[in-house]
Chains A and B, each alone.
Chain A
């Protein structure tokens, strides 16, 4: 496993986490040891099964109309409100 600073920058860009140079250096060093430890699981013999063996089943509710939240409640945790809308950044 070879994790270098370039790999960390690439992952950070995909994850949209801006990093300081010092964080890039630290993570490159740490990730190398963490991921090479993790990669030892490759040697374990397993079946090619990625479906959970737990016999759980989904539960459903009736599709009935229930009282919904009040507008004042919905906007309680934001400061970016304009009239009856949340303000969001532009998408372009």
Chain B
């Protein structure tokens, strides 16, 4: 058996990184892919029981582009079902374990990809997907690089969607250089995704650049008492390093950031509740013998959704209901628009903004069980900032004395991924 496949099986036995390993993998540049990205003839479940046996008859655009550049999918990685989670624990198809401590979470929802990239000696490229932070969060918890591109830079064709106006596919890799290479390949316009924009470029040309004079804003609200002290001090040390390299650092207050978790969850769950209506027990996905009338059959299939899937469908339905839509859904959209405008103004003065990626170090599984849904949703408040606004961001592992990894989040203006690459790469060196 080839050594790359052998390593995949060994790591998977210990860490549950894969839902499906590609047994016919033999040659090409190996890449691991989150299981909500469709791969021709290779099972794609989105981590859910509803799609447990789904085998796509096509490749997502990102996979098609990668195959044209001699990449080959090694396996499909474990994740929260449909991306509904922060810790990769909301799934019945395998919970990945943290490479630094097996009793702790990898973060979510692209947990399997991030863990594998950390653990593997042979694979440095992975694909994750983010709605509210699902690339940056697991990258931070596993000590690797996660790059969430601007909404519209990378095609979503062939992605099993969670919330279409937020969903983004992006690299999870060992280094910033790997992420820049991968982004260069997967980005660009696609007639199959009408939201894609013709603004991609070769991001590798921004490696090994001087970062003198780059203006960085430190978002004050993101360094409050809610953030673990180890994380705060780790990031402060990193900011000093950037300052020594010539970056101009300034603190900035952005009060709207306090309201983005609510705005995000209202819009995302509204979109999710309509997206999940397509799993109706017909054509693909979980099926039974359709003997009853349509509504009864539809309910019989939907009874199989997990508790978290049901929770999100019901909340998403509620915020769209007559009598509540104006106060919840419309208001959330207005807040999102206000935030986008405010950030567009801020980026007239700054090239980059910095926050921690996550407020806590990777938690133990037993600690996660004790969290209420609202406490879990609130954990996303830092990654939700670039998610709501469609801004590109990167989680970068900081050099730290702690045993567990710490991620720093860089946020750039729309389609200014070059600033993430420049500063991320300069810091790594």
**Which residue numbers of A lie inside 8 Å of B, CB to CB?**
7-8, 11-12, 14-19, 23, 27, 30-31, 33-35, 37-42, 44, 46-54, 56, 58-61, 69, 73-74, 76-80, 86-92
Whether the Cβ atoms of B338 and A47 lie closer than 8 Å is yes
With both beta carbons as reference points, the residue of chain B lying nearest to A40 in the complex is identified as B262
What is the minimal beta-carbon distance from B299 to any residue of chain A, in angstroms? 5
Provide a sorted-by-A list of 5 A–B residue pairs whose CB atoms are within 8 angstroms: A17-B302, A41-B259, A52-B340, A56-B195, A76-B57
Can you name 18 extra interface pairs (CB under 8 A) apart from A12-B314, A80-B289? A14-B321, A16-B299, A31-B314, A31-B318, A38-B265, A38-B266, A41-B259, A47-B337, A49-B334, A50-B334, A56-B197, A58-B194, A59-B189, A78-B282, A87-B290, A88-B282, A89-B293, A89-B294
Task: With a 10 A CB-CB cut-off, give which of A23, A34, A38, A87 has the most chain B CB atoms.
Answer: A38
Contacts of A12 in B (CB 8 A): 314
With both beta carbons as reference points, the residue of chain A lying nearest to B41 in the complex is identified as A76
Contacts of B249-284 to chain A: CB distance below 8 A: 256, 259, 262-263, 265-266, 273, 281-284
Q: How many A-B residue pairs have CB under 8 A?
A: 158
Chain A CB within 8 A of B366 CB: no
How long is the Cα–Cα vector from A12 to B318 in the complex, in angstroms?
9
With both beta carbons as reference points, the residue of chain B lying nearest to A14 in the complex is identified as B317
Contacts of B273 in A (CB 8 A): 15
What is the minimal beta-carbon distance from B65 to any residue of chain A, in angstroms? 17
How long is the Cα–Cα vector from A48 to B310 in the complex, in angstroms?
31
Contacts of A58 in B (CB 8 A): 194-195
Whether the Cβ atoms of A77 and B55 lie closer than 8 Å is yes
Question: With A16-B298, A80-B289 as given contacts, are A47 and B334 in contact (CB-CB < 8 Å)?
Answer: yes
How long is the Cα–Cα vector from A58 to B295 in the complex, in angstroms?
35
Whether the Cβ atoms of A86 and B372 lie closer than 8 Å is no
Question: With A31-B318, A60-B194 as given contacts, are A50 and B337 in contact (CB-CB < 8 Å)?
Answer: yes
How long is the Cα–Cα vector from A49 to B186 in the complex, in angstroms?
33
Whether the Cβ atoms of B338 and A46 lie closer than 8 Å is yes
Interface stretch (choices B106-114, B118-126, B128-136, B324-332)? B324-332
Whether the Cβ atoms of A54 and B414 lie closer than 8 Å is yes
Chain A CB within 8 A of B379 CB: no
Whether the Cβ atoms of B259 and A44 lie closer than 8 Å is yes
What is the minimal beta-carbon distance from B327 to any residue of chain A, in angstroms? 6
Question: With A78-B284, A89-B291 as given contacts, are A18 and B302 in contact (CB-CB < 8 Å)?
Answer: yes
**Which residue numbers of B lie inside 8 Å of A, CB to CB?**
53-55, 57, 151-152, 189, 191, 194-197, 256, 259, 262-263, 265-266, 273, 281-285, 287, 289-299, 302-303, 305, 307, 310-311, 313-315, 317-319, 321, 327-328, 330-335, 337-338, 340-341, 344, 372-374, 377, 390, 414
Contacts of B297 in A (CB 8 A): 89
Whether the Cβ atoms of A39 and B327 lie closer than 8 Å is yes
What is the minimal beta-carbon distance from B151 to any residue of chain A, in angstroms? 8
Task: With a 10 A CB-CB cut-off, give which of A17, A44, A47 has the most chain B CB atoms.
Answer: A17
How long is the Cα–Cα vector from A18 to B300 in the complex, in angstroms?
8
Contacts of A77 in B (CB 8 A): 53-55, 57, 283-285
Whether the Cβ atoms of B327 and A89 lie closer than 8 Å is no
Whether the Cβ atoms of B337 and A49 lie closer than 8 Å is yes
Whether the Cβ atoms of B290 and A80 lie closer than 8 Å is yes
How long is the Cα–Cα vector from A69 to B390 in the complex, in angstroms?
34
Question: With A44-B335, A54-B390 as given contacts, are A69 and B57 in contact (CB-CB < 8 Å)?
Answer: yes
Contacts of B298 in A (CB 8 A): 16, 89
Whether the Cβ atoms of B331 and A30 lie closer than 8 Å is no
How long is the Cα–Cα vector from A37 to B260 in the complex, in angstroms?
12
Contacts of B265 in A (CB 8 A): 34, 38
How long is the Cα–Cα vector from A80 to B311 in the complex, in angstroms?
29
How long is the Cα–Cα vector from A11 to B317 in the complex, in angstroms?
7
Question: With A35-B318, A77-B54 as given contacts, are A89 and B296 in contact (CB-CB < 8 Å)?
Answer: yes
How long is the Cα–Cα vector from A16 to B277 in the complex, in angstroms?
10
Whether the Cβ atoms of A48 and B189 lie closer than 8 Å is no
With both beta carbons as reference points, the residue of chain B lying nearest to A29 in the complex is identified as B372
Contacts of A53 in B (CB 8 A): 337, 340-341, 344
